[in-house]
Amino acid sequence: MNDQPELLEDDALWYKDAVIYEVHVRAFADSDGDGAGDFRGLTEKLDYLQDLGVTAIWLLPFYPSPLKDDGYDIADYTS
């Protein structure tokens, strides 16, 4: 039995049945107690999200932005 997850390239319409969980990283899970969520906190909660039935994660913007496109525009690609 193969326990490997199905690759997206195997199903071009994967998104039609996806359970998408939108995450604001800084508000989701704080791994180091500094009061702000972080990527370590998010990765520590992946099993929890899987148990909820989540099949895709949509990360909200987390980088510096001039906020001309609801935060999806990047102020500095190198920072």
Is residue 52 one of the residues assigned to a domain?
yes
Confidence of residue 1 (pLDDT cuts 50, 70, 90): very low
Residue 43, domain member (yes or no): yes
Q: Are 59 and 21 in contact (CB under 8 A)?
A: no
Per the domain annotation, does 28 fall within a domain?
Answer: yes
3-state secondary structure of 9: helix
Which range of residues forms the domain containing residue 30? 18-59
pLDDT at residue 21 in the model: 98
- pLDDT for residue 3: 64
Q: What's the rounded Cα separation, in Å, for the pair 37 and 29? A: 4
Condensed to tens digits (0 to 9), the pLDDT of residues 19-50 reads 999 999 999 999 999 999 999 999 999 999 99
- 75 within domain boundaries: no
In a domain, 64, yes or no: no
What's the domain count of the chain?
A: 1
pLDDT in tens, 59-77: 988 888 888 888 888 888 8
